[in-house]
Amino acid sequence: AQSVTQLGSHVSVSEGALVLLRCNYSSSVPPYLFWYVQYPNQGLQLLLKYTSAATLVKGINGFEAEFKKSETSFHLTKPSAHMSDAAEYFCAVTPSGGSYIPTFGRGTSLIVHP
Amino acid sequence: DTGVSQDPRHKITKRGQNVTFRCDPISEHNRLYWYRQTLGQGPEFLTYFQNEAQLEKSRLLSDRFSAERPKGSFSTLEIQRTEQGDSAMYLCASSSVDRGDEKLFFGSGTQLSVL
């Protein structure tokens, strides 16, 4: 069984500041890891994914995430926040075997102040 | 590629009524998922189809819930005898291949309110 923990239901940053959204996972087999973003009144869309090719993954809109097996973490970062980054962010894990059903974290709401 | 579409966007119903939602996945996507999302929570898996076969159902899916995907195209999710606890956003997603590293394409969801 797999699970995802996102620390902090809300993260507030100033425009131009570093964004750090935390995600820890547990999985009985090596997982695939994803970050999705949800803007108001829209469906979730993929930001980036880890598939074992490289531990540092770059995504859209300047976001990146680093897979750390020893810490079972996949934290999302962006060097400089923009007002348009305000949204809900979800970390998800899919096992590398079995039925490939993604399990999502509870989400972190990113608030960006001018 | 017109994306995943869900209908209706909003549904208000009285307790005890039946409701049905529809999802049209991206054409040619063989996997279709239903998730439920409540306020402050992430999407919770309900069920998924590979083509027309319903391969897995969550324990969250009581016997009042039924899903179909005839002919492996669109899908419907029906809730019978709705309860206030069924109020949630129902999300549909699809993917093109049977691999764990494949991303999901989500619709905008159907917001259900049970009064």
For every residue of A85-111, DSSP letters joined together read G-EEEEEEEEESSTT---EE---EEEE
CA distances from B112 to A20, A105, B78 (A): 33, 22, 12
pLDDT in tens, B57-83: 998 788 999 999 998 899 999 999 999
| Pairwise CB contact (< 8 Å): A44 & B55 | no
Query: Which residues in chain A are closer than 8 Å to B104, comparing Cβ atoms?
Result: 44, 46, 102
Name chain B contacts of A101, Cβ cutoff 8 Å.
33, 45, 48, 56
Model confidence over A64-107: pLDDT tens digits? 999 998 899 999 999 999 999 999 999 999 887 777 889 999 99
* Residue B82 three-state SS: coil
Q: Is A32 on the interface with B (CB under 8 A)?
A: yes
Q: Per-residue pLDDT tens for A5-61?
A: 999 899 999 999 999 999 999 887 778 999 999 998 889 999 999 987 788 999 999
Which chain B residues have a beta carbon less than 8 Å from that of A42? 108
- The pLDDT value recorded for residue A21 is 98
Contacts of B31 (CB under 8 A, 6+ apart): B48, B49, B50, B94, B95, B96, B97, B98
